[in-house]
């Protein structure tokens, strides 16, 4: 498996983005993987930090590593929203090739301090690292936009490999369509040369995503749409079959196919 540094700088140069999809079980992993294979595209498989509290993150690592070994596509396995240095170390031990440390709720100075420590740990292990400035909220929380001055200072002091910026997105479904601050993204992209990351990809129209990509965004995160597609899909299949029992793999198959189609459409939109 590869690191972000193997795929993102080139993607940024070519003004395209690599999709980073949050998986949470065998079925979502398989669906995303198939989509990337069918599109012959690099892919970032990412796992939310909460899944590191039990066996899930390790099991997903084992499955991803096996799928990657049997396929010809570039694959990065990434810890999403790493909450502590312990979690960064745990991800590295489990075979993750990339991590995020999320200090975006700390003060700017504390974020720099925490991120710098995490960068040292990650780079020592040959693992790539992403961090965030400003704050992309979860749900209804307040968006704190990133500034050019902070982006420049943050990259200079931390040596991070990819920078998540806040330009108007939020995690989860939007109540009304978001409007990205493309001017801000463009100024940040002009000021720093490392790949930029956009969190909160669910529900952002492709036209806006393409404009962000033109500014230097080379990694786009998608979680909510994909995972809710899984849940809604299973519910729909159950509805169709009523009380009749069907083995799980047969229930999941059509759901997986729909997720694969969705992920393929996103990969194409980002290319
Ligand atoms: P969404 O859940 O809004 O797609 O955001 C995903 C994300 O940014 C994961 O870090």
List own/partner pairs for 79-85 with CB under 8 A and 24 or more apart. 79/46, 79/47, 79/49, 79/52, 80/20, 80/22, 80/46, 80/47, 80/48, 80/49, 80/221, 80/223, 81/48, 81/49, 82/49, 82/118, 83/49, 85/114, 85/117, 85/118, 85/121
Cα distance between residue 225 and residue 189, in whole Å:
27
What DSSP letter does each residue of 16-70 carry, written as one string?
--EEEEE--SHHHHHHHHHHHHHHT--EEEEEEGGGGGSTHHHHHHHHHHHHHHT
Structure tokens at 153: 């200072």
Question: Residue 92 pairs with which residues in a beta bridge?
Answer: none
Ligand 1 — pocket residues by CB below 6 A?
Answer: 22, 80-81, 171-172, 199-202, 221-225
Tell me the best of 45, 201, 219 to mutate to test the pocket of ligand 1, counting ligand atoms within 8 Å of each CB and taking the most. 201
CATH architecture of 4-228+264-270: Alpha-Beta Barrel (3.20)
| CA 203 to ligand 1 centroid distance, Å | 10
Residue 93 is predicted with a pLDDT of 98
pTM beyond 0.85, yes or no: yes
Any catalytic annotation for residue 161?
Answer: no
Sign of the alpha-carbon torsion through 199, 224, 264, 78: positive
Q: What is the chain's mean pLDDT, rounded?
A: 97
Residue 243 is predicted with a pLDDT of 84
Residue 242 is predicted with a pLDDT of 83
Residue 118 is predicted with a pLDDT of 98
How do the domains of the chain map onto residue ranges?
4-228+264-270
Cα distance between residue 173 and residue 183, in whole Å:
24
With a cut of 70, which residues of the chain have pLDDT below it?
none
Residue 140 is predicted with a pLDDT of 87
């Amino acid at each position: 498996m590869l690191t972000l540094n193997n795929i993102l700088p080139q993607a940024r140069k070519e003004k395209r983005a690599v999709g980073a999809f949050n998986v949470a079980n065998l079925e979502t992993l398989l669906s995303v993987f198939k989509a990337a294979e069918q599109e012959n595209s690099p892919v970032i498989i990412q796992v939310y930090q909460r899944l590191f509290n039990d066996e899930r993150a390790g099991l997903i690592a084992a499955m991803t590593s096996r799928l990657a070994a049997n396929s010809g596509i570039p694959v990065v396995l990434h810890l999403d929203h790493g909450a502590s240095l312990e979690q960064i170390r745990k991800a590295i031990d489990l075979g993750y090739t990339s991590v995020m440390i999320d200090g975006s709720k700390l003060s700017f100075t504390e974020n720099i301090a925490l991120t710098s420590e995490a960068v040292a740990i990650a780079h020592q292990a040959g693992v790539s690292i992403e961090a965030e400035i400003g704050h992309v909220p979860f749900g209804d929380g307040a968006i704190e936009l990133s500034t050019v001055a902070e982006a420049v200072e943050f990259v200079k002091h931390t040596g991070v490999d990819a920078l998540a910026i806040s330009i108007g997105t939020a995690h989860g479904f939007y109540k009304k369509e978001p409007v990205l601050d493309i001017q801000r993204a463009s100024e940040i992209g002009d000021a720093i040369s490392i790949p930029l990351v956009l969190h909160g990809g669910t529900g952002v129209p492709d036209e806006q995503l393409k404009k962000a990509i033109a500014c230097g965004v080379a990694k786009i995160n998608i979680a909510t749409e994909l995972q809710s597609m899984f849940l809604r899909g299973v519910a729909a299949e159950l509805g169709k079959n009523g009380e009749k029992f069907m083995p799980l793999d047969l229930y999941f198959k059509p759901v997986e196919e729909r997720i694969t189609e969705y992920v393929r459409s996103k990969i194409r939109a980002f290319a």
